[in-house]
Every structure is written in C-alpha cells, then in structure tokens.
Amino acid sequence: MASTMPVFADLRIPLEEVLKATNNFHDDNIIGHGDFGPAYKGQLLWSGKSMKIVARRLDRKHGLGDSAFLTEVSMLSNLKHTNLVSIIGFCEEKGEKIIINTYEANGSLERFLDSPNFTWTQRLRVCLGVARALSYLHSYEGRDYAVIHRFINSSTILLDENWEAKLSGFEISIKQPIQRKDQVLLCDPIGKVEYTDPATEKTNGVTHKSDIYSLGVVLFELLCGRKAFIWNEADRFLPPLAKHHYENKDLQDIIHPDLWNQMSQKSLLHYSKVAYACLKEERAHRPDTKNLIDELEKSLEFQLRRENLVRPSLFSF
C-alpha cells in the first residue's frame, strides 16, 4: 500500500528499524500512553547515527484516528523552534502508523508539578520556553499560516536533559490562514476539559487566545504544584480555584509551600498577574504572547535578583 504522505518521503523510516529500536515494542520500553497511543523509548540506528528516540504508535481503538497522525507529521515536519519537540521520522507500514521523535530525558512536565526539587526558577524558565514556542506558532513570519496548538497541558510539555521545555502534542493542531487571522476557526471541542477555553463552546471554535487560556492553566499548575484536575478533591478543577484566590488576594493559601519559601514577591506579582489574565473569560482581555513573555521575563529577572542577593559571598565569614 502506498504512503498517504509521499511529500514527506525523506522522513520515512522502515518498520523493521523501528522494531529493532524498541525491542519489538516490548512492554519494558513503554514510557507513557497518551491520546495518540503508547510511547516507546528506543535506540535507533539511522543514517549512520545512533540516537535515543520515542516511538509513538497510533492506537485507533482507544486513541485518536488516522487524521491525528497526518496532522502531527505535517506540523512537525514544517515547524522548527528550540522549544518544540523535533521529529526524526515516521513509519506507515503494515497497518502501523508511528511517529518517531527525539527523546526528551526528563519526560513530561506533569511528573514534576509537586516536586519540591523543581525550583521556582526552573519553573519560570519552562513557562518562558512554552510562551516562546507559542509566539512562534502564532506568528505568520515566514509562513502564510499560523498554528493554533489546541492541546497545551502539562503532559504535552516535555523537558530535555537541561530542563528546557519542548512543546509536543500537535495531533489536533490546526492552521490559521493569514486571510483569516482575526477569525474564529470552527471546530468541535476536543482535548482535556480542564484546559479548554470556555469560550470554545460559546463560539463553536478557537482562536490563538484559546492556547493562551490553556497555558494559563499550566502556569497555575506550576505555581500550586498540582494538576489542573484532581478527581478526589473538593476543589477538583484548578482554574476556578486559582481565580478565586487571586481575586481574594490569598494566593499563598494554594501556592506550593516549598515554592513560597524561595520566591521573590515581585516575581510572584508579575507571574500571578499574567497567569490570571490568561484565564479571563473574554478572549480579548487575555494577553498575547508578547505581553505574556514580557511579564514572565520580568518575573524571572526579579527571581534571579533575589537569588543573587541571598547567595553567600565567597569571602563571607
């Protein structure tokens, strides 16, 4: 059967090589299971190079459909940014549809939300990385379209060996043609409800400000050290909880205590202000990526100043 994506033929990797890399999709190689399907770590020998990879295998029964495979390969093959996950290739053979990405050593951000060892400074750098990735996606520079990601959450933000953010999860992303840059793109609501822009249902579609809302939820996850949805808690949904405490000026009650003890209050001021703005009901009241990056950079700057002040002098007695 011929490939459905001949235009990306240079990215095609034979199934035989993927099977070798993942030890025949052995269960011991599974590192996660997302909406696309199971993800396997492996060591791929390709084009004369040996590299660590993640092979994500489309699960048609419990995961997304073939269109998700086509969308992700198309997106990642044309998008290049330091804060986006990189595609090595794909496999479309014997009924299998597999996407092969670079291996990000520290896995998903979701794993570290409540970690006391994941510092406030590290969290700020991760936020900035994702905001810069969004700025690139939402820009028309060098392209006749922008990209609305639609699936930003703490499981689609990966962390490399240096704790740099790499945005993944492009299987439901959509292109926004330049001639429609200010319009709502009609689409069915999809993704995790706790990250979904509430205006999506009212307008039957999304804009780039829908991504801003989702990132705002992640910002509060990082601040509070908890997931956006926890089934067995009274305040199971984080967005309304975070907004309530911000408006009542008692954010300290929900901030992760280990973070509270290490953060600059000016850093918190800039961070919480822009995170709260991201969750505004009206899309027009949410910041764009430039404003978001500016505020996060200020937050990081104040945090680094504090760290320099409290760092003991080399000549102190």
**What are the average pLDDT values for consecutive 10-residue runs of the chain, which has 317 residues?**
66 97 98 90 93 94 80 94 97 96 97 97 99 98 94 97 97 91 78 92 92 98 97 86 98 97 97 99 97 99 93 51
d(CA 138, CA 176) in angstroms, rounded, equals 9
87 exposure class (CB count in 10 Å sphere: 0-12, 13-18, 19+): buried
Strand pairing class (49-57; 96-102): antiparallel
Classified as helix, coil or strand, 100 is strand
The pLDDT assigned to 317 comes to 41
Segment holding 255, helix H or strand E: none
Assigned architecture for domain 8-102: 2-Layer Sandwich (3.30)
**Distance of CA 254 to CAs 108, 239, 244, 285, 312, Å?**
23, 12, 11, 24, 30
Closest to 73 (Cα-Cα) out of 61, 85, 59, 60: 85
CA distances from 243 to 220, 246, 248 (A): 10, 5, 9
Instruction: Specify the 3-state DSSP secondary structure of 52.
Output: strand
What integer pLDDT is reported at residue 63 of this predicted model?
A: 61
Q: Which residues contact 313 (CB under 8 A, 6 or more apart)?
A: none
Q: What is the pTM of this model?
A: 0.93
Class of the CATH-defined domain 109-308:
mainly alpha
Residues with Cβ < 8 Å from 52, sequence gap 6 or more? 41, 42, 43, 44, 102, 103
Question: Cβ distance 167 to 84 under 8 Å?
Answer: yes
Domain ranges of the chain: 8-102, 109-308
Tell me if 158 sits within 8 A of 85, measured CB to CB. yes
